[in-house]
Amino acid sequence: MSSPQVNHFFVDEAGDLTLFNKRGRIIVGERGVSNTFMVGVALIPDPPFVDALLSELRAELLADAYFKGVPSMRAEASKTATAFHGSKDLPEVRRDVFARLSTCKAKVFVAIRRKHQLATGARAEYKRRGRKPTLRNVYAELVKRLFRNVLHKADGNVIIFAKHAKWVRREAMALAIEKAKANFERKTGLPSDKPMEIRSANPHEHGGLQVVDYYLWALQRMYEKREARFFDLLRPSYRLIMDLDDTRNNDYGEWYTDENPLTLAKIMPPAG
């Protein structure tokens, strides 16, 4: 009798949800403030293999005299010595991580919101109802979209959220997952009642969280810096990228897949 298949999903975010300064002025895209906010999910077929792969690489790098004395390689810095992180690792380290990511066989799904659209929508909502926007709902809505069509494909699911993500609340994420399941059942008429485990963890506890961080960093670099070379290295693993506020062609946004591959030329420039 074969063992039940359990899918392992790892969830992280990139960018921030800062929209206004203290005076209510939109500051999206200004220094230190991103134009986009992304939530990404990596489906990892063999999490123990990924854990071992990244632990072995980290040990090799820490033993390399080339990195002796580098601040980010010191344990007390809680950076590369603890976990790989796209925005904190040295370029030399990043290159080694990229070289190994393809062996992880991750399938990556990303949902993107453009913050100028979020800001103008939040301002209109405030004028209409006199209420400030609850930005945690933005994160939860992206989580719901990302999991809507993937939770029925195995006998069970384990979903691990990056604990450092500002907007993660276990109860809210569990509710978002339940809504994703309900949307799937309503759309297809098929049951989506598979066993589910939802928890949060620090990146150093799971290689899968470090993997999804790198995929998000590469995509964010493409959107924010117009630099595609990192994304291109990882392109085959991105299964779906939803640019939800690019409504030039569709009301629901632009969805990039193998049939409609994402390129730098296709990305809608930031508004504002």
CATH number (domain holding residue 49)? 3.30.420
Mean pLDDT of 128-140: 75
pLDDT in tens, 57-79: 999 999 999 998 899 898 887 88
Q: What is the pLDDT of residue 163?
A: 83
Q: What pLDDT band is residue 85 in, cutting at 50, 70 and 90?
A: very high
Distances (CA, A) of 76 to 94, 128, 145, 204: 20, 49, 38, 14
Q: Kindly state whether residue 143 falls inside one of the protein's structural domains.
A: yes
Examine residue 31 and state whether it is found in any structural domain, yes or no: yes
Written as one string, the DSSP assignment of 20-75 is: B-TTS-B-TTSTT--SEEEEEEEEES-HHHHHHHHHHHHHHHHT-GGGTT-GGGSG
Find the mean pLDDT for residues 207-234. 97
Is the pLDDT at 152 greater than 90, yes or no? no
pLDDT for position 26: 87
217 occurs within a structural domain: yes
| Domain assignment of residue 246, yes or no | yes
Which range marks the domain in which residue 60 is found? 6-266
**Number of separate domains in the chain:** 1
Query: Lowest-pLDDT range, 146-160, 177-191, 213-227?
Result: 177-191
- Which candidate, 202, 165, 204, places its Cα nearest to that of 81? 204
pLDDT at 187: 79
- Residue 123: predicted pLDDT: 83
156 touches 38 (CB < 8 A): no
| Average pLDDT across the chain, whole number | 89
Who wins on pLDDT, 255 or 75?
Answer: 255
- Is 272 a domain residue? no
| Rounded Cα distance, 81 and 171, in Å | 31
Within a domain: 1: no
Res 23: pLDDT: 85
**pLDDT tens profile 168-191:** 566 667 777 888 878 778 877 777
Q: Tell me, what DSSP letter sits at residue 268?
A: P
Angstrom distance (rounded) from CA 160 to CA 42: 10
Q: In this predicted structure, which of 7-16, 107-116, 123-132, 136-145 has the lowest mean pLDDT?
A: 123-132
Asked if the structure places residue 224 within a domain, the reply is yes
Residue listed under structure tokens 């002025």: 25
The three-class DSSP label of residue 135 is: coil
